[in-house]
Structure 1
Amino acid sequence: MGITIGGTEPAAKVPLVEPALSARVDTTWLRLAREHHVVDAEGRFLITTTMEGPWVPVRIRGEVHMAEYLVGHNARPGHAEFVTMALDGSVMCGVTTEEYDVWLVVDRERIKTPPPPPPDMEAFRAATRRKQELEKLYAPERLEQPLDDGWVLLAFHRHTKNLRRLHEIPDEVSRSLFPGLLGDNHPGTDAPPYRLAESQAWELGERLGVPVDTRSFGYFLEFQPAEVKGRQSKVRAIAPGLLS
């Protein structure tokens, strides 16, 4: 995420094998943040998950639980990736996960200008609501039981790689699927997921009556046993390298 500052030694390290890793990272961050005045007397500071921002103003209320959730892509709790900064932009404390430790880096020398102004919170909330609306649209209710073995349409978000849509394909559609939609391609029932071209995804979406967004999602066909359908329906499994 670009948080590590080249040539800067960490102010503290927390080994990844440390018991209660998330709590230890949070405790170490809070100690450094208070010592170096990243957090002011009222518990206020700026935070971002990328060096490009946006910097969001926050305030500590109660216990700190950042390292558990602000982690790298597909990383475990405690494998933290975030940057915090004093409100006046005078000092920064970045947290990043390296090979064996979580590094906490305090930096004053490289900060020459105040941080960018905080985002318009109303616009931020509106964007959040819009994101939630889209996620609701593209992550419908779980598949209804009972489930049978059969073909499914999978839609993985191109940025997060998360499975956002999972649609069962009715038998009457799947019987005509290969000759009518895929032509000479015949993925087997034990084959890896078959990636659909954009035109194929649009055609299948029309047949199934489901929304298709090929800019945001990559679409795949897969034959799944009922048990796999049920598991993916519950956990929204991450794409196993499909969109790499």
Structure 2
Amino acid sequence: MSLKPKVVVLTGAGISAESGIPTFRDANGLWEGHDVMEVASPQGWHRNKELVLDFYNQRRKAALNVKPNDGHYALVRMEEDFDVTVITQNIDNLHEKAGSSQVIHLHGQLFQSRSTLDESLIYDMDHWELKVGDKCERGSQLRPNVVWFGEMVKMMEVAAKYAYEADAFIVVGTSLNVYPAAGLIDLVSDNVPKYIIDVKMPKVQEKHNLFLFEESASSGVEKVRKNLIKAHMK
């Protein structure tokens, strides 16, 4: 059991944007010209499976060549001094690529597929393409293992437990507009320091022990890491 202070980090699209993955909020609510409900909802899936599968195929194909940035690596370095849990809203695998050892994916994982018949049947993907006709072991069509709009965020209970127990809480590159993930910061104790890092600082209610870094993840995460080390050396 780790005796290191527990640092919990909530990351959003902003941290991946520095690696070249476009954010939803920078695209005026459109993903590559598609309304989000066409490609990220159960209704869209039932209307046009090929469109949905192609959309995620293109995401996977692009993600193969994307590399973590300094923000991701700073979170890995943080593990030298702290017990770090990354809770991410992102479906990419950049935290894992960088080397983070404990990552909770709230909204699913791009490089996984799952059965449409049995949600417990999840498969890691070592390739980028998923097609109509690709089936699980029970003969059901496979879909992206991604939480779509209108679906339950099943990892929220796990994430909430970590937020309650945090000795420090860091928010990186998220608008804090997407619930239930945005509510995690409200679960953190008042006496626990909270850091928000974003080039476009979200509107946040003033809180005790709240520190704002209006800058990129690449520079901001490293600054917070050094601040935390100083604070815990006192």
TM class by shorter chain equals under 0.3
Return the structure number with greater relative CO, CA threshold 8 A, min gap 6: 2
Bigger radius of gyration = 1
Structure number with the higher helix fraction is 2
